[in-house]
Amino acid sequence: MTPWVLRLIVANVAVFFLQQTAPLINQMFVLVPALGLVRPWSFVTYMFLHGGLGHIFFNMLSLFFFGPRLESRLGGRAFLGLYFASGIMGAVLSIPFTPYAPIIGASGAVYGVMLGYAMFWPRDQILIWGIVPVEARFLIVAMTALSLFGGFSPSSGGIAHFAHLGGFVGGYLFIKLMRRGSGAAKFRKQATTITRKIETPAGSLDRWRRIKRDGLHEVNRDELDRILDKISAGGIGSLTAGEREFLDRFSAR
């Protein structure tokens, strides 16, 4: 088990036992979405409270199965960021839909972890109840559908469906933002730039000629025709830096 998964499980279990000896803990740290501005700590503390043994067992079991591999992939700091971003987004999404319903549980945060797992390993087989194999991506789709149905049904059965959906949203946004700023994304961008710099004249010309004229504004179509005619007359060497930039910009679309 990875360090932060272990710490989160220990923290949740410890708080659960504290709830049994000091019930006032629930009143102090429960999330009531509409009161979030006057109780801002509850956007975080509600994640460590649980309503019963089954509630905490299944949340921690899911964290145990999906968390370690994801933490190893992301690193401890990013994994913790994903966990809390998902849980907080679960609280935020509950504001417009269930503003006065008290919410407790790590489900939103755990749902974000599950989504993160499915984003990195979408075809992994997950055994439901240890029997039925389902690919991770299809499991997330099914859970999303069930949460939507439960959230908009007349009776939610005391389940914070919108906190679950918010966990998915928070996890997705966190990973997307993390990927955008990652070293791998920057490397791909630099590699593309370098590839274009060493591209042969014939390769550049072929790429420029594939520009779709129909999608261009009339002014840009005329400019494209003028530049291509110039290449036909004087070759690629006759182009100015601005003309090359024009062709590169539209060929990259």
Given 94, 107, 147, 204, which residue is catalytic? 107
pTM across the whole model: 0.71
pLDDT of 48 higher than 70: yes
Quote the Cα angle for 202-205-209, to 5°: 140
CATH number, domain with residue 158: 1.20.1540.10
Instruction: Single out the residue in 161, 184, 207 at which a domain terminates.
Output: 184
For residue 54, CA distances in Å to 39, 60, 61, 212 come to 27, 10, 10, 58
**Domain hosting residue 140, numbered range:** 3-184
pLDDT of residue 222: 82
Q: Are residues 214 and 97 in the same domain?
A: no
Q: Are residues 115 and 230 in the same domain?
A: no
Mean pLDDT of 175-198: 64
Whole-angstrom distance, CA of residue 63 vs CA of residue 180 = 26
Q: Are residues 61 and 137 in the same domain?
A: yes
Q: Is residue 92 part of a domain?
A: yes
Q: Are residues 142 and 204 in the same domain?
A: no
Q: Is residue 152 part of a domain?
A: yes
Q: What share of the chain is helix, strand, coil (3-state, %, to 5)?
A: 75, 5, 20
Q: Are residues 121 and 169 in the same domain?
A: yes
Cβ–Cβ under 8 Å, residues 122 and 181: no
pLDDT of 129 higher than 80: no
Going by their DSSP bridges, the two strands 125-128 and 132-135 should be labelled as antiparallel
Q: Are residues 125 and 217 in the same domain?
A: no
**Helix and strand totals (H; E) in the chain:** 12, 2
Q: Are residues 83 and 52 in the same domain?
A: yes
Q: Is residue 94 part of a domain?
A: yes
Neighbour tally for 219: CB within 10 Å: 8
Instruction: Single out the residue in 184, 217, 232 at which a domain terminates.
Output: 184
Q: Are residues 204 and 112 in the same domain?
A: no
Who has greater pLDDT, 115 or 185? 115
pLDDT of 202 higher than 80: no
Residue 12, CA atoms < 13 Å, CB-side half-sphere = 29
Q: Are residues 75 and 115 in the same domain?
A: yes
For residue 234, CA distances in Å to 65, 197, 207, 228 come to 64, 21, 18, 10
Mean pLDDT of 179-191: 61
Q: Are residues 123 and 213 in the same domain?
A: no
Q: What is the pLDDT of residues 63-107, one digit of tens each?
A: 999 999 999 999 999 999 999 999 999 999 999 999 999 999 999
Percent of the chain with pLDDT over 90: 60
Given 42, 50, 147, 164, which residue is catalytic? 164
Q: Is residue 194 part of a domain?
A: no
Q: Is residue 192 part of a domain?
A: no
Q: Catalytic: 107?
A: yes
Q: Is residue 130 part of a domain?
A: yes
Mean pLDDT of 112-128: 93
Backbone phi, psi, residue 133, to 5°? -80, 130
Q: Are residues 247 and 171 in the same domain?
A: no
Q: Which residue has the tokens 């501005």?
A: 37
- Which of 9-23, 109-123, 177-191 has the weakest average pLDDT? 177-191
Q: Catalytic: 62?
A: no
Q: Which residue has the tokens 């700091």?
A: 77
Q: What is the pLDDT of residues 11-21, one digit of tens each?
A: 999 999 999 99
Q: Are residues 209 and 122 in the same domain?
A: no
Domain tally, the chain: 2
Who has greater pLDDT, 225 or 156? 225
The token duo for 218 is 């009339």
